[in-house]
Chain A
Amino acid sequence: MSLAEPAALPVAASAPPHLHILKRLSTRFKTSLPAYLLLLPSLIFLALFTYGAMGRVFIDALYQRATPKAPLRFVGLDNISAVLADPAFTGAVINNLVYAVGTAIPSIGLALLFALALARTNAVTSALRAALFLPVLIPMVAASALFLFIFLPNVGLLDYYIGRLLPVLPNWLGDSDIALYAIMVITIWKNAGYYMLFFLAGLQSVPEDVMEAAHLDGAGPWQRFRHITLPELKPTFLFVTVIAILNAVTQVDHVFVMTKGGPSNATNLVLFYIYQQAVEHYDIGKASAATLLTLAALMGLTALSFRTMANREGGA
């Protein structure tokens, strides 16, 4: 009792500041409540369709159904190791890396070139910008159907013109050495115009007066580009690179329409592999395991790029 007495004092003394904190919290809550309310619909959808689905995938990845009539069985990490041991999956990962690098670099390079060439606004550049942006507006499935005819061996548009120059006509989509590069062409063609928009916007932020000063100091066009434009475009580069890599993982419509991952899995990409496991092999466990691995890789990559961006802003 006597020990409890002095201990009670500080509690009583600290009561007003405690209340004070609560009050401050409640006023803060009151001011931020509308913001949370506005975010709520998105949060609900995000929870239902993104985090809910992810949770479901996480659970499904732990189970396996041996045969149609057998019940679901808890298998732990067996599905993950089965996916990692599947040469079709490792093949798809390698294809996807080649595809990501091979589409990101050319489409970003082209986008930058287009943006630099069409930075000034006049009738001609507006028309050219629209023309370059047009492929973005065509749905991927329609574009793929179009390219299916362009790539048609011997009689397609491509062979009709290039065939005269080549000693042997390649079977663009049927040759396992070429097919992946053939579908990469579509992605580059489709995305370059889209990324151009970001670079056009980025170029607007290059300060006019700095440019003028450099010009007066006698800096040539290359020097100005190298030391002023490029550094100013750095955030745009980062942003576009992240989008390009995400696109490389999420765009598979053309694979579906043109090659179905073939010939012999030469154009199989990770997302298409997941689709195959889920609906062709009817193997939800393995499909979920592959999804988890892909999610982990993508989250790691996104976190890394956010950190890079944050570091850059911190340094600036």
Chain B
Amino acid sequence: MLFTRRLMLGLAMAGSIVSALAVPAMAEGPTEIDLFFPVPVDGKLARDMGTLIKEFNETHPAIKATAVYTGSYDDTLIKTRASIKAGKPPAAVIMSANFLLDMQIENELTNLDGLIAADGTTKEKFLGQFFPALQGNAVIDRSVYGVPFHNSTPLLYINADKAKEAGLDPSKPPQTWAELTDWAKKLTKREGDKVTQWGIAIPCAYDYCGWMMETLTMTNGGRYYNEEFGGEVYYDTPSMLGALTWWNDLVYKHKVHAPGATPGPAVSTSFISGNAAMMMLSTGSLTYVRDNAKFNYKVAFIPRNVRNAVPIGGASLIVPAGVEADKQKAAWTLIKWMTSPEKSAWWSRATGYFAPNMAAYKTPDMVDFLNKNPDAKTAVEQLDVAKPWFATYKTVPVRKNLEDEVMLVLNGKKQPKEALVAAQKAADETLKPYNAETSLKLP
């Protein structure tokens, strides 16, 4: 008899002594957790985040959360991965919504189903709080991996004063590509060969460029990638060719869009300074435009060629893999608090992102705010036609495969067709290992 009663008792006692020693050590002071947060758009997001976390810590004495600024969406992914590799992941991260699939493939995410169940609720009920369009980027294989925090859609921003000046009616913004081209032509001013005012600006820098291509492709009737499976993108398709050709025409045929690749901040600065009369940009920049534009502006749906559609943008809250149980719990408290109707409404007003929690729009403060700022409604209305955001295996490199080629087109180095063929080839190459393991692995 190896397991005598005495031995068992001894083990149990040893166990209780160990846990008795361990528990007070852990109970000392609040649970300290880190929250990684990016700032992908214009404005004073970092200061607002400080205000939000301060309030959380004041109302939750058992937890001490620290907000850590981690740069752009792409940088935040890199820093999160580095910290997971180093064995010290932050308890929560505001992660670009389309990186979740890639991270799940790499086993870098905590499945949130358990934490939801521990609250005595169901996945359906929990997700039911959020706009349906957001769920595609939060749920993978029927498990919840992310909680939508701040989300965006692209918008068309119009300088209403300049439109009136050009004899256009800003209360009837362009609804189709043809109308937009027409507006852009009328809003472009030249002195000889030199353009002093551009009709339209569309950002193209790594990250933004892919999102804008997805936007144009969707309004042109297309899909961008396989929403169900991480191994396929549709770069070399008629809908994307049409989209890139139109963008190329704005630059080189109609000459109403500046050539070259322009990052988001340069586009918004150009719009604010009156150098560009219209721009396509995230609703995340809305508060920045509202605070800084010294002219009347108007926001509108992204014009369509075939149909109205936009991709979701923005970020979700995630818990990286490898976070200890007590920190997971603390992170979950923080995540639920941040995505509650009141807080997500406050954050939406502060930044311009829309609030993913539908109940946020029923809070009195938000109703008030929307009455005063009807421009904040546009992104929410556009949600009816919103689709999930591009997510594949190795999302960033696959996205860059396209972006590098689009930049060549905007720089006048390639024609749209050859660029898309090259992008497709490069992306297929990047996706090959994943397909070899999944879709090409035959029984």
**Chain A residues in contact with chain B, CB under 8 A?**
66-70, 152-155, 167-171, 173-177, 260, 262-265, 279-282
Contact = CB atoms under 8 A, between A and B. Distances in A.
B275 A260 contact: no
B64 interface: no
B261 A262 contact: yes
Instruction: List the 4 shortest-distance A-B pairs measured between CB atoms, nearest first.
Output: A171-B260, A174-B260, A263-B407, A174-B261
A155 B273 contact: yes
A170 B81 CA distance: 37
A66 B436 contact: yes
Interface centre among A152, A175, A263, A280 (most CB of B within 10 A): A263
20 contacts: A66-B433, A153-B262, A154-B270, A154-B275, A169-B194, A169-B195, A171-B258, A171-B262, A173-B263, A174-B261, A174-B263, A174-B266, A176-B411, A262-B261, A262-B404, A263-B411, A264-B405, A264-B411, A279-B78, A280-B78
Chain A facing B: main interface SS: loop
A276 B408 CA distance: 20
Given A154-B270, A175-B260, A70 B437 contact: yes
Interface string B391-416: 00010110010011101101101000
B193 A168 contact: yes
Contacts of A281: 394, 397, 430
Contacts of B404: 262-265
B205 A153 contact: no
Nearest to A148: B265
Contacts of B263: 173-174
Contacts of B205: 174, 260, 262
Contact of B258 (A154, A177, A282): A154
B361 interface: no
A167 to B, nearest CB: 6
A67 B434 contact: yes
Contacts of B400: 280
Contact of A67 (B78, B206, B407, B433): B433
A155 B194 contact: no
A152 B263 CA distance: 9
Interface of B: 74, 78, 81-82, 105-107, 192-195, 198, 204-206, 258-263, 266, 269-270, 273, 275, 394, 396-397, 400, 403-405, 407-408, 410-411, 413, 430, 433-434, 436-437
Q: Which of A67, A154, A168, A265 gathers most chain B CB within 10 Å?
A: A154
A265 B195 CA distance: 28
Given A155-B273, A280-B397, A175 B193 contact: no
A68 B106 contact: yes
Contact of B259 (A67, A175, A264): A175
Nearest to A268: B404
Contacts of B411: 174-177, 263-264
Of listed B260, B407, B433, residue having the most chain A CB within 10 A: B260
A282 B408 contact: no
Given A171-B258, A175-B260, A279-B78, A262 B407 contact: yes
B208 to A, nearest CB: 11
A174 B78 contact: no
A262 to B, nearest CB: 6
A316 B209 CA distance: 59
A167 B82 contact: no
A68 B438 CA distance: 12
A262 B401 CA distance: 12
Nearest to A178: B260
Contact of B262 (A67, A168, A174, A265): A174
A287 to B, nearest CB: 13
Given A69-B437, A175-B411, A280-B78, A153 B266 contact: yes
A178 to B, nearest CB: 9
A175 B412 CA distance: 9
Contact of A171 (B206, B261, B405, B436): B261
B144 to A, nearest CB: 21
B270 A263 contact: no
B419 to A, nearest CB: 10
A150 B195 CA distance: 19
B194 A152 contact: no
A218 B430 CA distance: 70
Nearest to A169: B194
A173 B105 CA distance: 35
A177 B193 CA distance: 20
Given A171-B258, A175-B411, A263-B411, A152 B437 contact: no
Given A154-B270, A282-B81, A67 B396 contact: no
A183 B302 CA distance: 34
A155 B260 contact: no
Contacts of B192: 167
B270 A153 contact: yes
Nearest to A64: B433
A282 B394 contact: yes
A194 B359 CA distance: 59
Given A152-B266, A171-B259, A264 B408 contact: yes
Contact of B105 (A68, A169, A170, A279): A68
Contacts of B437: 66-67, 69-70
A281 B399 CA distance: 11
B436 A279 contact: no
Contacts of B193: 167-168
Contacts of A173: 263
Contacts of B403: 262
A56 to B, nearest CB: 14
Name the residue in B74, B107, B261 with the highest tally of chain A Cβ atoms < 10 Å from its Cβ. Answer: B261
Given A263-B411, A264-B404, A68 B81 contact: no
Nearest to B104: A68
